[in-house]
Each structure stands twice: as structure tokens, then as C-alpha cells.
A and B are shown apart, each in its own frame.
Chain A
């Protein structure tokens, strides 16, 4: 695993994030912009909910026939002069890319945004082998200058403020006049545009991700707003696509259904500025386009997910809506999750890809408020899947001692209903007496984690069961 994994230190990460004023300021943008824009654009399309159901069904169909669609896709790519490379692990995928770069003697490599590239740690691997790829998505470019991982799957630099970006540009672009004015975001964008334009034109190899791979036509699809991915795949001699197995979609009609949901859910746009369908290398007579077209299809643990409780996670189209709507993400940001995929989708996917022993905190870092499931365009039951991880963690004795003890004690009582009722009755009465004056408790044994920051509401004296019984008596 070449991407540094700090998920085991989630608690420390989160504490630091909460105390970071720059980060907290930047995170304020997430809750406001993404959420409100998505709400408006979904409300403008009466068929939105029906499209989500259709998208869920078509992804389920595709996953159930994944082997066949993968084979069909590979046939189409090959027929059109492209080459499909398969990779079981991250390391294999990195080597495929390196071999292609070496064979064509690549000096300059540009990249469009790709989460698979982050997952396999491609940039560090290529750098260690003498090739320095340049990220061309503005957000990815900024975090590459800072040697940081993305903090959001569609807005990688969402954790930064413009003053930080200005400082990075001054440090990185030393050949430009030091007195230049970079105060306005437009000035920063213009500078990135001119610096990266040179990189685009000089590139030998362009690497992009894929939002979808189409089995019917052998095409790879990318959606961008900047046009960076499109320049990355059009100008160099060689185009390499990185994609994981679940990116396959059967037909052009199916991809159209998903595209009606992707931008709306992600950025609140009806459609991104650019949606590009690449099919093979340059054809005879074509004035531009890459001479070689390669697709690296990565498994990295996904085929195993297909067989278990987490198959539904493979429906994910990486819109990022779940993190945009997550109160935990709003509070701690993406880096706290400690790997490539943050937020609710990361809390389900990361344990599957790196192990629950390392990522056990993530599915626990949820209030189960259910907003992520409510807005997911492919209807992934994220809270249920996080619950499955919690169960596995418990079964494998990975849960922290306090949680195991607590659950053990609770289990002792619930298996003895009379004793349970007695003890809870006593406890509720005691707590109610203790808190009777203010209706809330300032301090509670074993619950300091709660009471250190806020009071605990005092129970009013009766247990739920006794109240339920009383209610039943009045019912006919």
C-alpha cells in the first residue's frame, strides 16, 4: 500500500481537524453549496427519484453479469485497436503504467483526475521510478503542490482557503514575478491555466480515470468541468485509462441514465461542461488524438466484495453526495478518514479494501442519521453496510475493550428480562431524582465523553417498557 494509511489514527485525526480553524472555515463551503445546489437541481427534475430506482436496478443487473460485460467490453476495445490490461493488485496496475511510459520513452506525463490513481498510489510510484506526472485538474494540481491526498472525491482541495493556495502558487511558480497580484480567485485560475497549458502541450503520455466503461462500444467516459481530462487524453501520443471493474455499464442508454444523476448529485449541475466518450486510438485520417489507447482494469479486492454483504457498495458512481450531506464529514473533513475515500462511502469501501482491522474506526464514525442513504443516486444502504462492518469488527474481537465490555454487560441483562426491568427501573428513577432540579445532568458515570461538552437530558423516571405497558392498557 503506497498511499499512507492513517485510518487507524482516526480519533486523533478528527480531534486535530476539529481544532483547525482554516479547515473549519473551508468546510463551511461544503454544507452550503453542494447541498443546496443538489436540492434545487433534483427538485427541477420530476423524474429524479424514478431515475435513482432505474440506476440501482441497472447497476444490480450489471454486477450480476459483470464477468460477461467485462469480456464484451474487452472485445470491443481490442477490435478498435486499443489494449486492455488487467491488474489484480495496486502494484500490478502501477507496473503496467510504468512499463508503457518506459516503452514510449515518456518524459512528460499529464494526468486527469482519477481516484483509482490515488488508490494505487501511482504518482509516488512513478516518481520513485524517475517519472514525475503533473496533475491537471485544478484541485488535484493544488494538492499535488502540497504533497497532500485529496480530501473529497470530486473536490480534492475543498479543505483549503484561497490564501493557502496563493502561498502554494508563489512557492511553486518561482519564475513568475514575485510582485504579481494573486488575491482574486480568477488570478489564481488564470495562473494555473497558463502554467498547465505548457504541460498539456508537452506531454508524451496522458493518464485519466474513467467514470464509466461502456461494454456495447468499448468506450471510456470521463466527465469534467475544466476540460483538463479532455486535453490530457487528446494531446499526448499515448492515452492510458485507469478504471476499476465496477465501472462497466452495458450500453449508451444505460450510461445516459447514470449521467442524468451523476452531475446533479455531485455538483448540482444538470450536466457537467464536458462528457467525453473515447473509443480506441486515433483513426486513419484523424488530425489529432493519441496513437495508443490503453485501459488498465483494476480489481484490488472488488471481485471479492461482489460475493458478500458489501456488493451493493459496488453500485457507487463516485458522486460524493454522501460526504456532502454527512454531518461527520462536515465536522472533520476528508483527511481525518485517513485514506483515499472519505465520508460514508469511504467508511464502507475503505475497510473492504484495506481491512477492517485498520479501518474499524470509519464505520463507527457515523451518527446513522441516514441522510447519505436518502440522497444516494444509486440507493446504496450506507448505514446498513456500516452496521455490517461494526458486526464484523465485534465478531473478530477488534472492537475496543470498553465497547466489548459495555456490550457484554448489556447482553448479560437483556438475556435476563426480569433483572433487566428491575435494574433499568432503578436506574431511571435514580437518574430522574438526580436531575430533577434542572431536568439535565452535568455529570454521569461512564459518559464523560458526552458530559464534558454538554449536559445529558435527565430521564423523567419511567422506563420505556413500563410506559408502553401503561399505554397498552388504554388501548381497546
Chain B
């Protein structure tokens, strides 16, 4: 008997079932296909204006920083200003996500914009989030040909662009958006990011910048 069969047989023996019972099978199938929502906290169900305000507050609570911009055209200047404020070289790396491609980067001629995955040598990256969750100030990023995962973790400073329209109140709303966009399957990697990397492993002292980015800066586009 294979290890697989041994484990499943032992589970079934303990549960006193065969695995063929129709009511059990339909209960499990039903949950998987209907994926019912659980309890959504009230703060996850706020109207738009308050929702965006909550998101901004939660990002800051998680030690991130945030800026609201009226349009994508303002992104290059905001990125350049952020780099200057941190005394960083005028260079970022980004994926070729269409929403990032559409940004007029040449409007900031001193800003070098590199493309593709990170090999750990750049100080700052720019990503576009697929969505965000107001209840905890969480950004949701999906991997794909145009969105390298390495850009989320290797650079010291991570700048994330998100459309105000994509800021949901709760996680469940974002999951539905992901299901729609990727036809029911998940991309290889979904990263929820809530503030910069941190550790409290030394005497429970809270320190930022453990292995991932030391800072996370969010640019919200639209409806300032």
C-alpha cells in the first residue's frame, strides 16, 4: 500500500467513513464550488470614501507610507520625489505590466527605469497591485510574465501603484476579482503585502527591514 493510501485509509478509519458516501461528497463539493463567505467585519463594508481613508490609515499603521495622486501621469514625478526624499539614486526597476507601461515615464528624464526581474542589485522597484484591502491596509499583487515576484522582495524600497477603484473593503471581494480575472485559477503567486519587512526576533524589539524591503510606499491613483 502506498503512503498516500495508508494515510487516506487511516483518516477514513478514524472518521468511520468509506469516502464514497454521497452526502459527504456533496457537502465538500458544494463548499468548494460555492465557496461561501464567512463573517465580514463591519469595517470591511464601508462606503467608498471612508474605505479609501481606512486603507490609507491602515497602511500607515503597518509602517507603510501612502500618497494619493489624481492620475497615472503623476506617477513618475511622485516616484522621483520619493527617491530624492530617501536619498536614493534616480533608478527603479519595474515589470512590463500594461498599467505600468501606460505611465509616461519619460516625463521625468533623470529617472532611469529598468525592466524585468530583480537580481538583488537594485535599491528600488515599482509594482502595480491587482487590488487592495482596506480592512488591514493590505496590497494584493499577482505574479505573471509582466509582474516578477522578485521585485516585491529583493529591493530595499518597494513602490506600489494601486487604482483607487481596486481598493476593496475586504479580502473576499478581491478573491472574486482574482477568480474573474484568472478564470477560477490562481496565478503562480499571490502576495498580500501589509507594510515593510520586519522582525521582532531579538528580544521582541520591533525592527523594520528584515529580509525584504525596508520601506513600502503606496501610490493611490484617482479620487484624491
- Residues of A at the B interface (CB closer than 8 Å) are 26, 29-30, 33-34, 45-47, 50-51, 54, 58, 61, 64-72, 80, 85-88, 92, 136-139, 142, 155-158, 160-162, 165, 185-186, 188-189, 192-193, 196-197, 200-201, 215-217, 219, 225-228, 230-231, 234-235, 245, 250-254, 256-257, 259-260, 267, 269-283, 285-289, 297, 299, 303-308
A470–B129 Cα distance when bound, in Å, is 72
B38 contacts A273, CB within 8 Å?
no
Of B14, B35, B198, B204, which contacts A273 at CB under 8 A? B198
Note all chain A residues with C-beta closer than 8 A to B95: 287
A136–B197 Cα distance when bound, in Å, is 14
B148 contacts A68, CB within 8 Å?
no
B136 interface residue (CB < 8 Å to A): yes
B197 contacts A189, CB within 8 Å?
no
Of B170, B185, B212, which contacts A226 at CB under 8 A? B212
B143 interface residue (CB < 8 Å to A): yes
CB within 8 Å for A68 and B7 given contacts A227-B197, A260-B41: no
Taking residues whose C-beta sits less than 8 angstroms from the other chain, chain B's interface range is: 35 or more
Of B13, B17, B199, which contacts A189 at CB under 8 A? B199
Give the residues from 1 to 30 in chain B that come closer than 8 angstroms, CB to CB, to chain A: 2-4, 6-8, 10-17, 19, 24-25, 27-28
A138 CB to nearest chain B CB (Å): 4
B102 interface residue (CB < 8 Å to A): no
A251 CB to nearest chain B CB (Å): 4
B192 CB to nearest chain A CB (Å): 4
A189 contacts B25, CB within 8 Å?
no
Can you list 14 contacts pairing A with B, beta carbon distance less than 8 Å?
Answer: A65-B28, A66-B11, A161-B203, A186-B207, A217-B186, A219-B186, A225-B199, A234-B189, A257-B38, A270-B58, A273-B193, A282-B188, A285-B145, A306-B11
A287 contacts B15, CB within 8 Å?
no
Of B61, B145, B192, B199, which contacts A138 at CB under 8 A? B199
Note all chain B residues with C-beta closer than 8 A to A219: 186, 190
B125 interface residue (CB < 8 Å to A): no
> 6 shortest A-B CB distances, which residue pairs?
A227-B212, A307-B14, A226-B210, A285-B145, A139-B201, A303-B10
A92 contacts B3, CB within 8 Å?
yes
A158 contacts B204, CB within 8 Å?
yes
Q: Encode contact with A along B144-181: 1 for CB under 8 Å, 0 otherwise.
A: 11001110111000000000000000111001000000
B124 CB to nearest chain A CB (Å): 16
Of B4, B138, B192, B212, which contacts A86 at CB under 8 A? B4
CB within 8 Å for A256 and B38 given contacts A86-B2, A87-B3, A234-B189: yes
Note all chain B residues with C-beta closer than 8 A to A85: 3
CB within 8 Å for A303 and B203 given contacts A273-B196, A276-B191: no
B11 contacts A155, CB within 8 Å?
no
B15 contacts A306, CB within 8 Å?
yes
Note all chain A residues with C-beta closer than 8 A to B138: 271, 275
**Interface of B (DSSP majority class):** loop
A30–B201 Cα distance when bound, in Å, is 12
Of A188, A230, A256, A287, which contacts B145 at CB under 8 A? A287
B145 contacts A289, CB within 8 Å?
no
Note all chain A residues with C-beta closer than 8 A to B207: 185-186, 189
Q: Encode contact with A along B93-117: 1 for CB under 8 Å, 0 otherwise.
A: 0010000000000000000000011
New contact pairs (19) apart from A67-B12, A216-B32, A245-B7, CB-CB < 8 Å: A33-B204, A34-B204, A50-B39, A54-B38, A58-B38, A136-B211, A139-B201, A162-B202, A189-B210, A193-B211, A219-B190, A228-B211, A235-B150, A250-B35, A273-B198, A277-B192, A282-B188, A287-B95, A299-B10
Please give me the residue from chain B that is nearest to A301 by CB atom: B10
CB within 8 Å for A225 and B198 given contacts A64-B15, A65-B27, A72-B32: yes
B28 contacts A275, CB within 8 Å?
no
A47–B197 Cα distance when bound, in Å, is 28
A269–B191 Cα distance when bound, in Å, is 17
B89 interface residue (CB < 8 Å to A): no
Interface centre among B38, B190, B192, B194 (most CB of A within 10 A): B38
A271 contacts B202, CB within 8 Å?
no
B197 contacts A67, CB within 8 Å?
no
Note all chain A residues with C-beta closer than 8 A to B203: 26, 29, 160-162, 185
Please give me the residue from chain A that is nearest to B2 by CB atom: A86
B20 CB to nearest chain A CB (Å): 10
B145 contacts A185, CB within 8 Å?
no
Give the residues from 49 to 105 in chain B that come closer than 8 angstroms, CB to CB, to chain A: 58, 61-62, 95
A303 contacts B186, CB within 8 Å?
no
A276 CB to nearest chain B CB (Å): 5
A86 contacts B210, CB within 8 Å?
no
A357 CB to nearest chain B CB (Å): 22
CB within 8 Å for A259 and B171 given contacts A271-B194, A288-B148, A303-B14: yes
A234–B148 Cα distance when bound, in Å, is 10
A273–B192 Cα distance when bound, in Å, is 8
Of A88, A165, A281, which contacts B202 at CB under 8 A? A165
B224 interface residue (CB < 8 Å to A): no
B200 contacts A257, CB within 8 Å?
no
Note all chain A residues with C-beta closer than 8 A to B14: 303-308
B27 contacts A88, CB within 8 Å?
no
B7 CB to nearest chain A CB (Å): 5
Interface centre among A64, A88, A227 (most CB of B within 10 A): A227
B131 interface residue (CB < 8 Å to A): no
B47 interface residue (CB < 8 Å to A): no
Please give me the residue from chain A that is nearest to B58 by CB atom: A270
A215–B12 Cα distance when bound, in Å, is 18
B146 CB to nearest chain A CB (Å): 8
Of B37, B39, B153, B187, which contacts A227 at CB under 8 A? B153
A260–B171 Cα distance when bound, in Å, is 10
A303 contacts B194, CB within 8 Å?
no
B24 contacts A277, CB within 8 Å?
no
